[in-house]
Amino acid sequence: MVEIKTDTALERMREAGRVVAHALAAVRAAAAVGVRLRELDAAARTVLSEAGARSPFLGYRPSFAPTPFPAVICASVNDAVVHGIPDDYRLRDGDLVSIDCGAELHGWTGDAAISFTVGTARPADMELIAATQQALDAGIAAATIGHRIGDISHAITTVARMAGCGMPADFGGHGIGRQMHEDPHVPNHGRPGRGFPLRHGLALAIEPMLMAGGSNDYRTDPDGWTLRTIDGSRAAHIEHTIAITDDGPRILTLP
């Protein structure tokens, strides 16, 4: 069931979203050549703890997962698309890193992701990150009253196709509020004019995941969580939680 949020609820989500933004900023500041992914997770944990927030990632176990998720961030490196588990991997010069983080504060949730490079950036990686950001921007721009979920999906799809990138067909954005994952599903592939109608108070997490190789296929690591490109090409993932309002889309996960 889709829950339409009150303006008061959206303000509470904005508070949670601000914590997410600060956690992501702390992770990016800590990311450097030689730093372990576990250390990035620790940086995010500190921000959440100091804010009095809970992680909706830690212990989360959807139907596809063999075990509960063991961290407060997803840390996906190079050919990992999403859901990477932070471990003892040490960042290397030129790595492309995607970090996804959530926070629950006073019963309301925020969810966002960033992608960036460590050390010397490859031009192709910067182009991929830029295309992913453009896809997110296009999806947010389409999130206006009078449109439908499919208009968001189509906007993302259009940018990805123009960039020659693939996207994992089974994964996309989602409704968000009291829980991290709520109805409706927000596919990254879609047709305009289809799906749930957008109205004031609808809160969505929009999250394009672009794969440089152009294929929509992916594989899952033995850990049951990490998604990787099927051809070893690099991937980027950028996300914001937004609210549909009478004044246009409002991003809730800015600092």
User: Tell me: the pLDDT tens digits for 149-205?
Assistant: 999 999 999 999 999 999 998 899 999 999 999 999 999 999 999 999 999 999 999
Report pTM. Answer: 0.97
pLDDT given at position 50:
98
**Which pLDDT value is given to residue 113?**
99
Q: Which CATH superfamily hosts domain 7-251?
A: Creatinase/methionine aminopeptidase superfamily (3.90.230.10)
User: 10 Å Cβ neighbour count for 88?
Assistant: 8
The residues near 216 (Cβ < 8 Å, ≥ 6 apart) are: 166, 167, 168, 169, 189
Q: How far apart are CA 42 and CA 48, in angstroms?
A: 10
- What is the predicted pLDDT for the residue at 170? 87
> What pLDDT is recorded for position 169?
86
Per-residue pLDDT band for 60 (boundaries 50, 70, 90) equals very high
Q: Label residues 210-248 b or e (16+ Cβ within 10 Å = b).
A: bbbbeebebeeeeeebbbbbbeebbbbbbbbbbbbbeee
Instruction: Report the chain's mean pLDDT, rounded to a whole number.
Output: 98
CA distance 29 to 21: 12
**CA distances to 100, 198, 232 from 77, in Å:** 12, 34, 11
- Has residue 123 got a pLDDT over 90? yes
231 has a pLDDT exceeding 90: yes
The pLDDT tens digits of the residues spanning 138-147 come to 999 999 999 9
